[in-house]
Amino acid sequence: MTETLYGSLTTPRPLRAAEPKGRPYLCLSERHLQALWLEQKYFHSLKTAGGQPLEVLSPGMWNAEAGPDFLKAHIKIGVREYRGDIEIHLNDNEWQQHHHDTDSRYNQVVLHVSMWRPEAPKPIVTQNGRVVMQMYLTESLVEPEHRILQLIDLDLYPYRHFVGSGRCAHDLFQHASQDGLQLFFNQAADWRLIQKRSFLASYCIDTHSQMLLGMTMALGYKKNTKAFLSLFLYLQKLPSRTESEWLALMLSICGYFSSTYQEKWASSSAYMDLLNLAKTLPPHPQLELETQHTRPLNQPLRRLVILAKMLSDHQLTQLWTRVLAQWTEVWPTIRDKRSASQALQLLLSLLPHYTDAYWNHHYNFEVRVHEVFVPLMGDNIKREMFINTFLPLLRATIADASPEKEALHILYSSIPASSSSKSRYLVHRFFGDNEEKGGLLDLAIAEQGAFQIHRDFCLHFEASCVGCPFVERIKSHPATFALFNKK
């Protein structure tokens, strides 16, 4: 994999955890283990440290506050069932290092999960003197550890919000020049493109499938990105269907034919037709979508409509070829923001623009018909698809330190930021009240760079900056530290 100047910062593992001697270096963190536990699909035949069979009936609720990592879990060891909390560490020593043995909040822990079995295991004891059962994930993994890093994208999981600005704001960013900061965040954004393409390639071999996966995940819109990923991986294994069959299948998978929805939309002939069609389809898995606090235009129901059209759109088989050909034609013309904006519009115009007699005048299966045109594929969706799918795929075709890469950088720098709640949070975390420096994130390239820094470092120290190696790593890396003084 190509490594950028920023990428070299991530080579040492973000967490300084003790590992057994001789174990190859990995950028593995507790966040990865928490995601493993939540997913419950990357290991099998779990056993306790003592060799008893362990079955996870419910992994529990991922805790975003102080206390155990997962609350109210339900497990079965041997023939006995246990209900309580789960605590997860890279190794057993961290139970005492984090003082859980003297913290009453951990008295309900029924299982301690570690990545590696130590040479001389020691009992895990709670504050009230109870010995906690233990298990080690490496003994049951069905994927090698390096593969786990590719399969788990930490951006798709919840994170705890940090109150106040971070240590990097006070010790690093406030002393840096504006030009230096821009260069650094651009470097992080370039690394993010490489990482995103690697993530897509970990699931799909050919570029066309990687493109479809990336576009599908963009349809997930924040809260449902992970669910749309799972949905795509299931659907791509199925034989081709008509648009209506795809939509009926997805609505059924995602729970839109529950009794609640049937009662709500019983007067809709469009809904009832799809319900009857779904009854003719073979059995399928179930997925839960997050539908609360989402604007009508961004409801996952409408995104499923788009996905059904994509899956039945034969022209999409040529989309990547057309985008690559258009890029090859326009990149030599990109010299400034104006020419970059013109090139961007040409590229975006290649993305599908679906219209539908029903969905362009309905938000859902309501009876009311809206006279105002309601778009399916708006500019925001196309922008997200371009940034998170097509830019990473284009970056993979371009040599470093080439005129073509400089053209891609100028193009990227012409795209405005999304101004999401996460970007506003990171402006405050990285720059405090400095509005001038915070204005860097008004461009998508810097915003995406901030997202990558947050992913590589802040996610592992979200509640506070204590222990975060980011500042020290910058200062001990001469080539990167020099960026901050560039004018």
- Whether 196 maps to a domain, the answer reads no
Q: Are residues 220 and 134 in the same domain?
A: no
Q: Are residues 134 and 270 in the same domain?
A: no
- Whether 225 maps to a domain, the answer reads yes
> Residue 15's pLDDT is what?
38
Encode the chain in three state secondary structure.
CCCCCCHHHHCCCCCCCCCCCCCCCCCCCHHHHHHHHHHCCCECCCECCCCCEEEEEECCEECCCCCCCEEEEEEEECCEEEEEEEEEECCCCHHHHCCHHHCHHHCCEEEEEECCCCCCCCCEECCCCCEEEEEEHHHCECCCHHHHHHHCCHHHCCCCCCCCCCHHHHHCHHHCCHHHHHHHHHHHHHHHHHHHHHHHHHHCCCHHHHHHHHHHHHHCCHHHHHHHHHHHHHHCCCCCCCHHHHHHHHHHHCCCCCHHHHHHCCCCHHHHHHHHHHCCCCCCCCCCCCCCCCCHHHCHHHHHHHHHHHHCCHHHHHHHHHHHHHHHHHHHHCCCHHHHHHHHHHHHCCCCCCCCCCCCCCCCCCCCCCCCCCCCCCHHHHHHHHHHHHHHHHHCCCCCCCHHHHHHHHHHCCCECCCCHHHHHHHHHHHCCCHHHHHHHHEHHHHHHHHHHHHHCHHHHCCCCCCCCHHHHHHCCHHHHHHHHCC
Domains: count for the chain: 2
- Whether 439 maps to a domain, the answer reads no
Q: Are residues 233 and 300 in the same domain?
A: yes
> Residue 25's pLDDT is what?
32
- Whether 407 maps to a domain, the answer reads no
- Whether 447 maps to a domain, the answer reads no
Q: Are residues 252 and 361 in the same domain?
A: yes
> Residue 463's pLDDT is what?
61
- Whether 337 maps to a domain, the answer reads yes
Q: Are residues 344 and 217 in the same domain?
A: yes
Q: Are residues 216 and 146 in the same domain?
A: no
Q: Are residues 223 and 350 in the same domain?
A: yes
> Residue 14's pLDDT is what?
40
Q: Which domain holds residue 109?
A: 7-152
Q: Are residues 142 and 280 in the same domain?
A: no
Compute mean pLDDT per 10 residues along the chain, 487 residues long, and list them. 71 41 52 86 88 90 84 91 93 90 93 91 92 91 80 67 72 89 95 95 96 97 90 95 98 96 96 97 91 84 98 96 98 97 97 95 92 90 96 96 96 92 86 86 96 88 74 85 71
- Whether 314 maps to a domain, the answer reads yes
Q: Are residues 247 and 103 in the same domain?
A: no
> Residue 120's pLDDT is what?
85
Q: Are residues 114 and 16 in the same domain?
A: yes
Q: Are residues 120 and 231 in the same domain?
A: no
Query: Which of the listed residues 389, 421, 448 is the one where a domain comes to its end?
Result: 389
Q: Are residues 284 and 146 in the same domain?
A: no
- Whether 28 maps to a domain, the answer reads yes
